[in-house]
Amino acid sequence: MSSCSPMRVAVLPSRMADMNNSPLITASRLTKTYGTTRALNGVDLTVCAGESVAVMGPSGSGKTTLMHVLSGIITAESGTMQFLPQSTAGDHPVTVSGLSSEKRARLRRQHIGFVFQEGLLMPELTALENVAVALMLSGTPRTAAESAAARWLQALGLAGLEDRRPGQLSGGQAQRVAIARAQVTEPQIVFADEPTGALDSATSAQVLDALLDSTVGRGAPLVVVTHDPDVAARCSRLIRLEDGRIVHDSANAEVGT
């Protein structure tokens, strides 16, 4: 059974000890097939609070599929996927694979943050509204949602751009708005699928810093799918997928790039 520490023992004992080390997601023996393609072929994985996990691997190796199963967007054919919410008292483990699609949607809306390669911001809405809407969709009143959104935009260095449309923002700015949108609900975990894939390397570094600070800084884990070794190097843990299997899992200092 997998545990929070990578397969090979981590070399950062002091840092690991500082973190809240309880598991947030445990997945075991996940499989997912599309036609004859085994997108996931028996994946075991546990993600703990405070971790930042880089998921690498060749294109088609199942990275996106894994992220979708871990976040409850899709369900695996076999294996179990548990979500163990931590912050609020009384929350108990949820077996995500057994939930209806409505309940999984609610789980995602309330507890999970997402950042995609293209920001997928709504072009008609201002930056502020794009962020606020994430809270409003779960029933937060508009004024409260907008002030929370303004705080997050400011935290991400976007003060003054609240009224811009996505079309009036640079790629890096738009991606930081997307990060603010993912964080404003204070999700327990954030998933990012190639969040810097469309950016140049300098902007990439800034966006990744913003993503790491805003997620791990809150104590929530970050799972980031990436092709960029620089991005992977900044995460605390690195997983490599090939043909739907985890072929490598280690604390990052061991890996280098």
Partner 1 sequence: MIRLFLGRLFADRTVWALPVAGFALTSGIGLMVFGGAMYFYTLPDTEDRMLYSVYATAALILLVIPMLALMGSAARLLAHRRDERLAGLRLLGASSGQLRRLVLAESAALAVAGILTGAFLYVALMPLVGRLPFAGAPMGVSGLWLGVGLLAAACGVLLVFAMAAAFVGLRRVEVTPLGVRTRQAPQRVKWMRAVIAVAAVVVVFVLHTMVPIRGELVIMVVAFAFLAVPLLAVQLIGPWVLKLITARQTRRAGTAERLIAARNVLDSPQRMWRQVGGVAVAAFIGVIAGCGVGLISLAEFEQGSEEAMIFADVARGVWLTLFIAFLLTACSVGLNQTAQILDQRDLYSGLAKTGVTLTQLNRIRSLAVMRALAAVLVVAVLAACIVAMPIVGWAILTTPVSVLTIAAVLMAGVLLIYFGTLVTRLTMRAVVEAG
Residues that bind ligand ADP (CB under 6 A): 34, 37, 39, 57, 59-65
Annotate each residue in 145-184 with x if it binds partner 1 (CB under 8 A) or - if it does not, as one string. Answer: -------------------------------------x--
**Which are the contacts of 109, defined by CB distance < 8 A and separation ≥ 6?**
137, 138, 185
Cβ distance 58 to 247 under 8 Å?
no
Q: How far apart are CA 198 and CA 221, in angstroms?
A: 23
> Which listed option, ligand ADP, Mg ion, partner 1, none, makes contact with residue 253 (CB within 5 to 8 Å by class)?
none
Question: How is 63-111 classified by DSSP, letter by letter?
Answer: HHHHHHHHTTSS--SEEEEEE---SSTT---EEGGGS-HHHHHHHHHHH
Q: Give residue 171's Cα distance to chain centre.
A: 19
Which residues ranging from 111 to 150 are in contact with partner 1 (CB under 8 A)?
112-114, 116, 118, 120, 122-125, 129, 133-134, 136-137, 141-142
Cβ distance 225 to 190 under 8 Å?
no
Nearer to ligand ADP, 36 or 88 (CB): 36
Nearer to partner 1, 38 or 109 (CB): 109
Chain residues that interact with partner 1, rule: CB under 8 A = 68, 71, 73-74, 102, 105-110, 112-114, 116, 118, 120, 122-125, 129, 133-134, 136-137, 141-142, 182
